[in-house]
Structure 1
Amino acid sequence: MVEFAPLAVPWERRLQTFAVLQWVFSFLVLPHLCVATFIGLLCTRFWLCAVLYAAWWCLDQDTPRQGGRRVEAIRRCVLWKYMRDYFPTVLVKTAELDPSRNYVAGFHPHGIMVAGAFLNLCTESTGFSALFPGIRPHLMMLPLWFRVPFLRDYLMSGGLVTSEKESGAHVLSRKEGGSLLAIVVGGAQEALDARPGAYTLLLRHRKGFVRLALEHGAALVPIFSFGENELYDQVKNPPGSWLRCIQKRLQQVMGISLPLFHGRGVFQYSFGFLPYRRPITTVVGKPIEVQKTLHPSKEEVDQLHQRYIKELCNLFETHKLKYNVPTDQHLEFC
């Protein structure tokens, strides 16, 4: 039975819903709309606009791999504050980050749409700059999305960069420090395990971010976002099932995963693509000191990787009771 939203909803909550709706729209519809708009312009009397943009695009094609192009006005837009309050979302600091250093931060878990990573690192809605003065966050994203006209500029305005080694090296090469390169380590594949009550992380064989930290002498920072997997329900797809096999095959072909998820709607609470109103608390852990090693050995990478996993587990165990995680629940790695 469908549970409809009441008519007498405060305007504050309506604005929060609208803010999240446009964000979901930007994930699911905006890429297709941008491509259609670009092609459509070529077929109208405004074709010159599309040609000029294409010329600009060619000249600017390396920018997503060279730190992007942040626009503070967009990062501080009031729209993101309404989106923050929808869940609500809180950023928790557990240790200082020295602005004279560079950092590689592992963000866990991916969830369905990485709402916590977006709000905390791509906007100022949770006060990242106030909590960590002098630190500029950059969140990595699949290069595929930066090949979409118009969308690429929107993504870069929030501090997003491509998830390529060249891109990470550029961010971490700032000699004056103050850069935080955030990597959602589990990636799109981890989204296939994102469902309420799940704490399985795709991390056991993901070591590229550790090697990157060693090569640049950047401290490693574990970040865990409590509530990230609670935002959507997902159709059951255990490993080995026909659905998981199809999803993995599609991911190999397309580069992105396609979880079958659902949440609530705009005017009813029973089904839809909006996330549930459930709190997200993103906890930033203590940095792990890393000695710069230009050509780290497999043993050095493995050793630091194990230390990172240990610190991530400690972060989770220390804070889980505060955020309604059962005492018998622990992180699992695959």
Structure 2
Amino acid sequence: MGWIIVVLCVLSPGTGSSILSSLQDLPSALWPCSSKMEKHLQAISVLQWVISFLALGIACTLLLIYMFCTDCWLIAALYTAWLIVDWNTPKQGGRRSSWVRNWTVWTYFRDYFPIRLIKTHDLLPSRNYILGYHPHGIFCFGAFCNFGTEATGFSKKFPGIKPSLATLAGNFRLPVLRDYLMSGGICPVNRHSIDYLLSCNGTGNAVVIVVGGAAESLHCTPGMNSVTLRNRKASAAILGHKHTPTQALRSDLVPVYSFGENDAYKQVIFEDGTCWKALQRRLQKLLGFAPCLFYGSSWGIVPFSNPITTIVGEPITVPKIEEPTEEMVDLYHGMYIRSLLCLFDKYKTRFGLKESDILHIQ
């Protein structure tokens, strides 16, 4: 029954709410109490996202291959042809859907933890921005909910700004999953995609990059206040890979920190020098992400319902410099680190941390 309700809630914000209200009017003998029903819907909404991210692309790829061996081969051939034609769309701004970003299921997703978005400064629609998100966590729940959906009201808090959350480019090579991600305004974290959004798509664009990436996810654990940033200059940290830092010095930089992101799962941390740690790093280089051994609450895969609060800091105004020197990159890299540390120190005690807690920059 729970899966049926979640599908109905996805249809549209109004539809989901009205159906839910009608079902709540059923006799209590046929329906659980409202609070339990809300909890079930919240857990299911998070579970469907986790399963979609982990298995949807692979499952649809296998299904597409299987369909070529059945009487449905024509459908598979047509989809494959369209996939080839549409191959570069993720690198050219994607195909976001306001309808998908406003699905009611994302409000249940938000309320499960819950997740909150806090604005500290205005972002001007006349500028473009690169938002550096910290820390990575396991699944970046805060990043997805705040910037891949409208559940926390990003467009109302930052009018005129269009967020694009950047993730692994490999996800956009998988059928169906690529369209699911693009509908939320999610883009590949590669130079072509980011350059297009920040240079060829006008102003009012905000590319959100989880700077720590796969390397940071291997170290996340509850209570850990550490980000991977020290050795990642603008060329690597902001663009996501080692290319020229030109684009990083065309858009304003905004530090973003999510308190509670590392508390969603507990992870088995392997010691350096062990064969398991070596295997993780090898797979990270081959696959682009780091396979982690983690567990949550229900069935081990549903995360713990700990609050996640995302703070969007003050923009660092960056002039347009076509050929920045290494010294210029170092300057803004240092400014960014100091701004992130100030943001963490200013808000840490409001969200359960001690005054003595510090943010470790690795």
TM range (shorter): over 0.9
* Aligned residues of 1:263 and 1:276 also touching (Cα < 8 A): yes
Establish whether residue 316 from structure 1 lines up as the match of residue 347 from structure 2: no
Q: What amino acid is the match of 1:94?
A: T
Deviation at 1:136, TM superposition (A): 0.3
Note if 1:163 corresponds to 2:196.
no
The answer to whether structure 1 residue 101 and structure 2 residue 134 are counterparts is no
The aligned length equals 322
Aligned position for 1:232: 265
Matches of 1:285 and 1:241 in 2, distance apart?
38
Shift of 1:34: 1.2
Q: Secondary structure at the match of 1:225?
A: strand
SS in 2 for 1:292: coil
Pair 1:26 & 2:62 matched: no
2:153 to 127, 132, 145: 127
The letter of the residue matching 2:118 is V
Unaligned runs of at least 5 residues, structure 1: 1-6, 266-270
Higher-RCO chain (CA-CA 8 Å, sequence separation at least 6) = 1
Q: What's the offset of the Cα at 1:242?
A: 3.2
Look up the match of 2:63: 37
- Secondary structure of 2:96 counterpart: coil
The answer to whether the Cα contact below 8 Å between 2:130 and 2:206 also exists between their aligned partners in 1 is yes
Partner of 1:138: 164
- Matches of 1:274 and 1:158, distance apart in 2: 22
RMSD of equivalent CA atoms: 1.4
Cα-to-partner distance string for 1:302-329 (whole Å, 9 max, x where unaligned): 1100100000000000000000112222
Offset of residue 148 of structure 1: 0.4
Residue 68 in 1 paired to residue 86 in 2?
no
Which amino acid is the alignment partner of residue 135 of structure 1?
Answer: I
More divergent stretch after superposition (319-328 vs 90-99):
319-328
Paired AA for residue 253 in structure 1: L
Deviations 1:158-210 (A, max 9, x none): 11111111111100014641000111001112110110011121111222217
Contiguous gaps of at least 5 residues in structure 2: 1-31, 240-244
> Aligned residue for 2:330?
302
Calculate the TM-score normalised by the size of structure 1: 0.93
Quick one: distance in 2 between partners of 1:239 and 1:326? 29
1:108-119 correspondence to structure 2 within 5 Å: 108-119=134-145
- Of 202, 206, 214, the match for 2:228: 202
Contact 1:214 / 1:291 at 8 angstroms: preserved in 2?
Answer: no
**1:83 to 2:109 alignment:** yes
Per the TM alignment, residue 132 of structure 1 is displaced from its structure 2 partner at its CA by 0.2
Matching residue within 280, 286, 300 for 1:253: 286
Residue of 180, 189, 204 corresponding to 1:178: 204
Partner of 2:15 in structure 1? Answer: none
Amino acid at match of 2:38: E
Residue identity opposite 1:19 in structure 2: S
Whether the aligned pair in 2 keeps the contact of 1:68 and 1:159 (CA below 8 Å) is: yes
Given that 1:288 and 1:308 are in contact with CA atoms closer than 8 Å, whether structure 2 keeps it comes out as yes
Measure how far apart 1:240 and its partner are: 3.3
| Cα distance, 1:139 vs structure 2 | 0.9
How far is 1:213 from its partner? 4.5
SS in 2 for 1:101: coil
Q: In structure 2, what is the Cα distance between the partners aligned to 1:185 and 1:240?
A: 25
Aligned position for 1:223:
256
Give the SS at the match of 1:182.
strand
Contact 2:265/2:295 (<8 A) preserved: yes
Tell me the amino acid that sits aligned with residue 128 of structure 2.
N
d(CA) in 2 for partners of 1:26 and 1:204? 33
Kindly indicate whether the alpha-carbon contact (under 8 Å) linking 1:214 and 1:294 is maintained by their aligned counterparts in 2.
no
Percent identity, please: 45
For structure 1, which segment, 12-21 or 172-181, has the greater mean C-alpha deviation from structure 2 after superposition? 172-181
